[in-house]
Amino acid sequence: PTPTPAPSYAIAFAPVAANQNDTVTVPTGYTVDVLLKAGDSVEAGTAYSGSFPTPADAEKWAGGNHDGMEYFALSGTDANVGGLLAINHEYPDVNILFSGSYDAATATADQKALALSAVGISVVEVAKGSDGKWAVKAGSTFNKRYTGNSSYRAGGPAAGQLSGTIKGMLNNCASGRTPWDTYLTCEESTDNYLDPTQPEQNYGWVVEIDPYQELAAPTKRTAMGRFAHENAAYMADSDRRTAFYMGDDATPGCIYKFVPDRAYSASNRAANTELLDYGTLYVARFNADGTGEWRALVQGQNGLLPGASDPGNVSQSTTPPTPVIVDFNSQADVLINTKAAARVAGGTVMDRPEWLTVAPDNSAVYCTLTNNSGRQVADAANPRTRNLHGHIIKFKEQNDSPLATSFTWEIFLLAGDPSLASGGANLVGDINGDTFSSPDGIRIDPQGRLWVQTDHSVPGNSGVTGTTIDQAFGHNAMFYVDQTSKQSKRFLVGPLGCEVTGLAYTPDLKTFFVNIQHPTGNWPVAGEVARSSTVVITRTDDQPVGN
Ligand code: FEO
Ligand code: CA
Ligand code: CA
Ligand code: CA
């Protein structure tokens, strides 16, 4: 692929050093403030203050494990100083809900309700005060929770397979948005770990939610497939045709795109309400020669027939698994069994695809492949067996078009660190500058600057005996990576035990919103249990972040 254009804004921050401090570290001249903690009030009511909630209280609190996030402008408000934040909650911050751990098999009805209240999303109106500090606007009519206890509708070819009223969303991991300003929250689990009485196929979908509460009720868009969804990043062309790029964070999983049949309307939001119910889902096949194909997951095509043979997870063992026969009698069958359909159609099984991001000029798409320690069979796109530290792949659609059925690709970088050389070159990687393991969040901002966030497991395996993963890389962090030179600069380091995930910003890029998920120390409030939180990053001289 040809290089993407240089960012319009220079990168001029002084990188921060790797550290293991129980705080959020940002460069000199930057400020970090906590905006929304798990248990803070979203809808009017109580907030966590050291004691456990009733299920009714918790249903109005910010949920736990903040993850993907998008910022939306409000009509009549300068978006640089106020707007809506939609924030995913991947799973509960259990320690503010009830004592002990959570076990679905033995949980009481109240514990189940509490746990389900803490997944889903929060929508909050946020504004920058005269003191320059951002805060949630208490009492805003936009402030709303959508939880694991709420009801959802379904659209698309598999909608009839789901029960009439669908209870809950689960594992709202990463996210995306549409050009018509709806929020896409993605269920990373296909299993109902909270309520075994619910049909399993309720989960594992992309859910479209209008943060303005104007359009259709929250809807599971079945045409986009059912798998362990990470995010959904769109590409749009000048004819308002789109593609939504999606990863299946599984060991291993495939990379997908969904292409709606119709162009979206830029002038009439309501005309887009069913746009995501009609279109073609494709899986990516990465050929060894640097070319790639999008194979349609359409019943009757690419082997998606009754009696199809699913080759299974061919990357995880040098002994090929026994193929499993899967019947694809309808498009609903294809969508409910998307993972198997993708393998039957020849999709490449990747090292846990997490987030994707699209360059503003459509000239590149990036996908993080976070790690896959169990890979035993390498291929060109997943070149390392026992891939402990992950890599980032870059691809370029034919004619930079969202409608393309072919692309070219390259490995953008291999994560790792030279300090791990005694464990073999496989652990070293080729990052130019500040190194990291397990890339997860990735986003190119409107100025063309590529940001990468990490999620190495703590405690985790560095690959070298006697060296912990935090010793090798510091705490999980966020990096700027130059798309041409591949120079990496560490921008932010998270507190103990956390992952860093989710990035949103105001249009002037003077405010960045970042999520700190599952901290385990004493952050963000000294003397309290750690809580997942959204933080706000600004500059003391009020200039764009990173510039
Ligand atoms: Fe919830 Fe794949 O990260
Ligand atoms: Ca993730
Ligand atoms: Ca992850
Ligand atoms: Ca996570």
Question: Which numbered ligand comes closest to the C-alpha of 460?
Answer: 3
Task: Determine the pLDDT at residue 4.
Answer: 57
Q: Whose CA is nearest to atom 3 of ligand 1?
A: 173
Find out whether 340 and 327 touch, Cβ atoms under 8 Å: no
Can you give the residue ranges of every domain in the chain? Answer: 30-132+140-539
Residues with CB under 5 A from ligand 3 (ion): 440, 455
Give distance in angstroms: CA of 455 to centre of ligand 3: 5
| pLDDT under 70: residue ranges of the chain | 1-6, 163, 192-201
Atom of ligand 1 nearest to the CA of 173: 1
**Closest CA relative to residue 403, chosen from 290, 180, 236, 176:** 236
Please give the distance, rounded to the nearest whole angstrom, from the Cα atom of residue 174 to the centre of ligand 2. Answer: 6
CA dist 372 → 133, 226, 284, 339 (Å) = 40, 21, 18, 17
Long-range Cβ pairs for the range 1-6 (8 Å, 24+): 1/363, 1/364, 1/394, 1/395, 1/396, 1/408, 1/409, 1/410, 2/363, 2/396, 3/483, 3/484, 4/359, 4/361, 4/363, 4/364, 4/448, 4/483, 4/484, 5/361, 5/363, 5/448, 6/448, 6/484
The pLDDT assigned to 199 comes to: 55
Q: Tell me the CA–centroid distance for residue 457 and ligand 1, in Å.
A: 12
pLDDT of residue 161: 86
Residues 6 or more apart from 305 whose CB is under 8 A from it? 299, 328
∠31-32-36 over CA atoms, to 5°?
A: 145
Give distance in angstroms: CA of 499 to centre of ligand 2: 9
Q: Which atom of ligand 1 is nearest to the CA of 230?
A: 2
Cis peptide before 459 (omega within 30 of 0): yes
Report the C-alpha dihedral over residues 357, 359, 363, 368, rounded to 10 degrees. Answer: -30
What the block records as the tokens of 156 is 């698309």
pLDDT score at 2: 47
Residues 431 and 435: their CA atoms lie apart, in Å, by 6
What is the distance in A from the centroid of ligand 4 to the CA of 389?
16
Give this complex's ipTM: 0.99
> Distance from the CA of 71 to the center of ligand 2, in angstroms?
18
Closest ligand, as measured to the CA of 499: 4
DSSP state, residue 227: S
User: Which residues approach ligand 1 with their CB closer than 6 A?
Assistant: 90, 173, 188, 230, 249, 354
How far does CA 421 lie from the centroid of its chain? 31
- CA 281, CA 223: separation in Å to the nearest integer? 7
Nearest ligand 1 atom, CA 249? 2
Is residue 372 within 8 Å of 352, Cβ to Cβ? yes
pLDDT of residue 459: 85
Within a 13 Å sphere around the CA of 521, how many CA atoms are in the beta-carbon half?
18
First and final C-alpha spacing in the chain: 27
**Least distant ligand from the CA of 371:** 3
CA 353 – ligand 3 centroid, Å:
9
Ligand 1 atom nearest 90 alpha carbon? 1
Q: Which residue, by CA, sits nearest to atom 1 of ligand 1? A: 173
| pTM for the full predicted model | 0.97
Q: How far apart are alpha carbons 253 and 308 in whole angstroms?
A: 19
pLDDT by residue (tens digit) across 285-300? 999 999 999 999 999 9
Cα–ligand 2 centroid distance for 354 (angstroms):
6
Which ligand is nearest the CA of 456, by number? 3
Q: 361: how many CB neighbours lie within 10 A of its CB? A: 11
Locate the ligand 1 atom nearest the alpha carbon of residue 352 and give its number. 2
Nearest to 292 by CA among 334, 341, 254, 336: 254
The confidence score (pLDDT) of residue 5 equals 60
* Angle ∠(131,137,138) on CA atoms, nearest 5: 125
Side-chain-facing half-sphere of 359: CA atoms under 13 Å? 24
- How does DSSP classify residue 398? G
Neighbours of ion ligand 2 (CB under 5 A): 354, 440
Alpha-carbon separation of residue 415 from 23, 372, 390, 432 (angstroms): 24, 12, 6, 10
